[in-house]
Structure 1
Amino acid sequence: MTIRESNTTVSSTQARPIPQEAFDWYDEYAHGLIDRRTFMARLAGLTALGFTMATLTTALMPNYALAEQVSFNDEDISASYVTFDSPKGHATGRGYLVTPKGLTTKAPVVLVVHENRGLNPYIEDVARRAAKQGFIAFAPDALHPLGGYPGNDDQGRSMQSSLDKMKVEEDFIAAAHFIKNHELSTGKLGVVGFCFGGYIVNMLAAAIPDAVDAGAPFYGTPPAEEIRGNIKAPLQLHFGELDTRVNGTWPDYEKVLKANKVDYTAYVYDNVNHGFHNDSTARYSETEAELAWSRTMAFFKDQL
């Protein structure tokens, strides 16, 4: 089932005077479809409309000081970095493990998957948000083989693109098994991811269907065609209406889910961009992001 969400209020994206094409260009740049020089040259063309380059880059580039909703030293959670074995991937993986403080009974687990630039502060905060809801949350860093997230997205994006894609996927498969089998896990695994992470959610649901109990991809592309039919877990999918690149992949994916009678709900949020949940950039749309996140947490509580 696909549900179209109409805005009743003006979203944060709409309220900004940045032209839509600037967000589209940023999406192309962030996903390697154009290089930085081309992106900046296109932005420079908007200065004729009265925008300064500083205004444009400040609006489009992430500011992680804005993204912290749950402090790393919040009294309700415990957070640490742990390693796990990944024999089919890069041998060893590392991630950010967040548990409810003083957890003594078993709890369901949620794997949190980052975008195409490594484990940045926004994704760590998302893991803390999930732990605040009572889940054991684990956010792996695909960049661990290269020393981990470098502190800026441009470098992180370049580093991640240099890695062997199949080994990266195996690292996330290993991470899913690692957290599902955590000593405090009930054995129920939910997976949530954003952008590249949304793809990984779909991939995991198809590649290890007996391990994934629920998946919530945010603006993620489908898994490889040859494994789409393996999906058994219920899915809750989130899309931004203006994200034509990802949305174009949905109709064919939906046909497979329908044909295989997968329990799924897809939400399309009007007038928001790819990345609308990421509160460190101007693509963030608070109303839709909070609604999508509340739905995700309710979905996991129901399924896990």
Structure 2
Amino acid sequence: MCDEFTEKDIENLNGNDGFNRRTFTKLSSIATFMALLPGCAASDVSESAITETEVDVQMPDGVSDSYFVHPSSGQHPAILMWPDIKGLRPAFKAMGKRLAMAGYSVLVVNPFYRDAKAPVVGPDASFSDPDTRTFLRGMASKLTQDAAMSDARAYISFLDDQSSVDTSRKIGTAGYCMGGPLIMRTAAAVPDRVGAAASFHGGGLVTDKEDSPHLLIPKSPAHVLHAVAENDDARDPEAKIVLAKAYEDAGIPAEIEVYAGANHGWCPPDSAAYNEVQAEKAWSRMLALYESALS
């Protein structure tokens, strides 16, 4: 999971030379990240045929300033995307836009709407800074299981009200870092709508607490992908085993894989841990999951 040890791993990865991908991209826009993502040029829908909107989603606890993007014509399966602990920002908007170019109506949310509008931290924010770590963890702590499931229901209700969403198709969800538990809570909150859930370097999927996300697995039939960072697995190698057993016992199709050489945070293109080869592999597995499960 994302913590001060993750930042040390990233520093080691980058050789402590003062230059890394986060430095390069810290002032970047959505357009810059779209250019960095290698698969966009070959997408099913051209960028010019995409509609993107900043939206305010009415929530039980306030208003979530979010990003909604979809092909400009037709109806498409919906995807609810949960960002990592640094929240909604240009890199995740670019990822949502890329998913829309693959033929989906995508809502990328501000999970911290209770406290602040996005972006909640600057592009050079680091968990090695104690103040940043305390600030983000304080907001994340409010996403209890009950709060997260309430939010999921509201976001899915918003999606189902959109003319670009094909409500005859199941909804997918994706989550990064702290978004890992959120995709599991989303699937359990609206089991009749969520058909696929994907997590990438998700933290806290298996705990010893009564609200551990893995205990929700029997509550949802959604097919699942868990893409696990190698250094996360090294710290908690039993988690993947517990997850696999829980899915097997529930009869739920699940793909759980440790991505060799991929450190926590390897998927977002603004991450200092970004690993293009493994990020593209994870992206392709997510698209395969959605293609097969969102019928």
Structure 1 length as normaliser, TM-score? 0.74
Choose the corresponding residue for 2:151, options 168, 171, 177.
171
1:297 paired to 2:280:
no
Q: Aligned pair in 2 of structure 1 residues 229, 284: CA closer, same or farther (>3 Å)?
A: same
1:161 equivalent in structure 2: 137
1:235 equivalent in structure 2: 224
Please state whether the residue corresponding to 2:52 is helix, strand or coil: strand
Choose the corresponding residue for 1:78, options 51, 60, 69.
51
1:217 equivalent in structure 2: 199
**Following superposition of structure 1 onto structure 2, how do residues 254-273 of structure 1 map, counting pairs within 5 Å?**
254-273=244-263
Given residue 184 of structure 1, which amino acid in structure 2 is its aligned partner?
Answer: S
Shift of 1:30: 7.8
> Does the 8 Å contact 2:148/2:186 carry over to 1?
no
Gaps of 5+ in 2: 37-45, 206-211
Shift of 1:261: 0.6
Given residue 20 of structure 2, which amino acid in structure 1 is its aligned partner?
Answer: A
For the residues of structure 2 that align with 1:147 and 1:290, how far apart are their CA atoms?
Answer: 30
CA shift digits 1:251-301 (9 cap, x unpaired): 212211110110111222212111111222331111111111122112212
Given residue 296 of structure 1, which amino acid in structure 2 is its aligned partner?
Answer: M
Choose the corresponding residue for 2:86, options 109, 117, 127.
117
1:92 paired to 2:63:
yes
Shift of 1:143: 2.6
Given residue 230 of structure 2, which amino acid in structure 1 is its aligned partner?
Answer: E
CA shift digits 1:211-252 (9 cap, x unpaired): 211111112242535433212111122112232346542221
> Does the 8 Å contact 1:122/1:278 carry over to 2?
yes
Q: Aligned pair in 2 of structure 1 residues 30, 119: CA closer, same or farther (>3 Å)?
A: farther
1:203 equivalent in structure 2: 185
For the residues of structure 2 that align with 1:158 and 1:183, how far apart are their CA atoms?
Answer: 40
CA shift digits 1:194-225 (9 cap, x unpaired): 11112211221223222211111112242535
> Does the 8 Å contact 1:239/1:247 carry over to 2?
no
Given residue 76 of structure 2, which amino acid in structure 1 is its aligned partner?
Answer: A
> Does the 8 Å contact 1:112/1:126 carry over to 2?
no
For the residues of structure 1 that align with 2:66 and 2:132, how far apart are their CA atoms?
Answer: 16
Structure 2 length as normaliser, TM-score? 0.76
2:119 equivalent in structure 1: 149
Q: Aligned pair in 2 of structure 1 residues 108, 225: CA closer, same or farther (>3 Å)?
A: closer
Shift of 1:184: 2.4
Q: Aligned pair in 2 of structure 1 residues 195, 302: CA closer, same or farther (>3 Å)?
A: same
Q: Percent identity?
A: 21
1:276 paired to 2:276:
no
Q: Aligned pair in 2 of structure 1 residues 30, 77: CA closer, same or farther (>3 Å)?
A: farther
2:4 equivalent in structure 1: 29
Shift of 1:120: 1.6
For the residues of structure 1 that align with 2:65 and 2:55, how far apart are their CA atoms?
Answer: 6
Choose the corresponding residue for 1:68, options 24, 33, 37.
33
Alignment: residue pair count: 258
For the residues of structure 2 that align with 1:202 and 1:214, how far apart are their CA atoms?
Answer: 10
Given residue 257 of structure 1, which amino acid in structure 2 is its aligned partner?
Answer: Y
CA shift digits 1:168-198 (9 cap, x unpaired): 5532332133213423211221001111112
CA shift digits 1:147-181 (9 cap, x unpaired): 32235145876544323223355323321332134
Q: Aligned pair in 2 of structure 1 residues 228, 301: CA closer, same or farther (>3 Å)?
A: closer
> Does the 8 Å contact 2:55/2:66 carry over to 1?
yes
Q: Aligned pair in 2 of structure 1 residues 118, 287: CA closer, same or farther (>3 Å)?
A: same
Q: Aligned pair in 2 of structure 1 residues 151, 185: CA closer, same or farther (>3 Å)?
A: same
Gaps of 5+ in 1: 1-23
1:59 equivalent in structure 2: 20
> Does the 8 Å contact 1:241/1:271 carry over to 2?
yes
Please state whether the residue corresponding to 1:129 is helix, strand or coil: helix
